Amino acid sequence: MTRRTSLAMWNLARWLVVLCCLLLAACQGSEQRQVVVYTSVDQVYAEPILKEFEKQTGIRVLAVYDVEATKTVGLAQRLVAERANPQADVFWNGEFLQTLFLKEQGVLTPTTFAAASELPSGYVDPQGYWAAFGGRSRVILVNTERIAPGDEPASVFDLLSDRYPAQTVGMANPLFGTTSTEAAAIYAIHGAEEARALYRQIAARGVRILDGNSVVRDQVASGQLAWGLTDTDDACGAIKRGAPVKMIFPDQAADQQGVLIIPNTVARIAGGPNPETAQQLVDYLLSAAVEARLVEINWIQVPTRPLPATVKPACPVGSEVRGMNVGFDAIYQSRETARTDLQEMFMR
């Protein structure tokens, strides 16, 4: 073997040794009990809840958080991609459409939920794949310095009203997030033709289409918009920070469609690496105590269970909110039709 050849082999061997050391370093396992949760709930809200679970049970929680900026292509895609070799145990979703999608893809596994009897009808999957609890609602956020009392909008359909110039009202892009869920719900309730007409008029009118609910919140709070459609957690955040805004639940009259309520959903992942601790986490998340805590820290504004008197909601919503009279499955089935139409109208 020549000197040059031996040098070359030595170099290659050296790199391989380094690589192996690095890999071995990554291999270090832990003896501690743990559970892996993927959650689309904002880290600001989910993190303290999960840390509390760690403290109570001694089970280490390894969380993966989602971000709105990725337009909902994050965690759900990851779970599907990992289906053959699941890494997650629990999926805690801030809404329900992605959960239904994952059930359809065979990513979830059925289980029993200890809190099932406490939850409203329709909030537990008949096959046991998921359970829903307290959530947010769609809401109209109004800038009180730009809209006088009595002149406030009361319906989603006020996006078409001539009382409000188009450039002063806004909503998030209806292709993504809870705005797309709301669109699917409107399609489910009113039928494709009527819903199509509504959104066509919104697009034609030039209503401001913004990058997300948080952007709507910020622009209403700063006065760039007079009012906009967003979620209660965003609206409440602005109120809490002292912005001159007010929250209105749209379409509450008896002859109107009601407002979309978006519950949290929890499910177990099929084949997850820690089934026992997964069940513990699922039951913990579905507990009344956690729901109350989430009300206190402003993630949930529309609880599914009565709150103890000691619980102080971060954002009291006043009297009963009238939700849309449409099931989750119906909304899920309408989403494809809605998406196809909305893409043509709004992606121009």
C-alpha to C-alpha distances, 234 to 47, 214, 231, 299, nearest whole angstrom: 18, 6, 5, 9
| Contact window for other proteins (CB under 8 A) among 81-89, 258-266, 281-289, 319-327 | 81-89
Among 71, 190, 305, 322, binds other proteins (CB under 8 A): 71
Site for other proteins in 143-202 (CB under 8 A): 173, 175-176, 180
Specify the residue for token string 């099929």: 270
Q: How far is the CB of 211 from other proteins (least distance, A)?
A: 5
Strand-pair category, 90-93 with 261-269: antiparallel
Query: Could you give the string, one character per residue 26-55, with x where binding to other proteins holds by CB under 8 A and - elsewhere?
Result: xx--------xxx---xxx-----------
For 173, the 3-state DSSP assignment is coil
Q: How far is the CB of 88 from other proteins (least distance, A)?
A: 7
Residue 61 in the binding site for other proteins (CB under 8 A): yes
- Judged by CB, which is closer to other proteins: 82, or 118? 82
**HSE (CB half, 13 Å, CA atoms) of 115?**
25
Among 124, 169, 202, 209, binds other proteins (CB under 8 A): 209
**CA pair distance 225, 216, nearest whole angstrom:** 8
**CA pair distance 245, 143, nearest whole angstrom:** 4
Rounded (5°) CA angle 251-254-255: 75
Question: Helix count (H) and strand count (E) of the chain?
Answer: 11, 10
**CA pair distance 132, 236, nearest whole angstrom:** 22
Among 59, 169, 186, 238, binds other proteins (CB under 8 A): 238
Query: Could you give the string, one character per residue 11-30, with x where binding to other proteins holds by CB under 8 A and - elsewhere?
Result: -x--x------xx--xx---
C-alpha to C-alpha distances, 277 to 27, 87, 126, 239, 268, nearest whole angstrom: 22, 14, 23, 38, 11
Q: How far is the CB of 325 from other proteins (least distance, A)?
A: 25
Q: How far is the CB of 255 from other proteins (least distance, A)?
A: 32
Structure tokens at 246: 């007010």
Size of the site for other proteins (CB under 8 A): 75
Q: How far is the CB of 120 from other proteins (least distance, A)?
A: 28
**CA pair distance 143, 239, nearest whole angstrom:** 10
- Judged by CB, which is closer to other proteins: 144, or 343? 343
Q: How far is the CB of 119 from other proteins (least distance, A)?
A: 27
Among 21, 73, 204, 289, binds other proteins (CB under 8 A): 73
Site for other proteins in 248-277 (CB under 8 A): none
**CA pair distance 61, 58, nearest whole angstrom:** 9
Phi, psi values for residue 282, rounded to 5°: -60, -50
Structure tokens at 1: 């073997």
| Contact window for other proteins (CB under 8 A) among 121-129, 206-214, 249-257, 261-269 | 206-214
Residue 116 in the binding site for other proteins (CB under 8 A): no
Among 105, 112, 144, 161, binds other proteins (CB under 8 A): 105
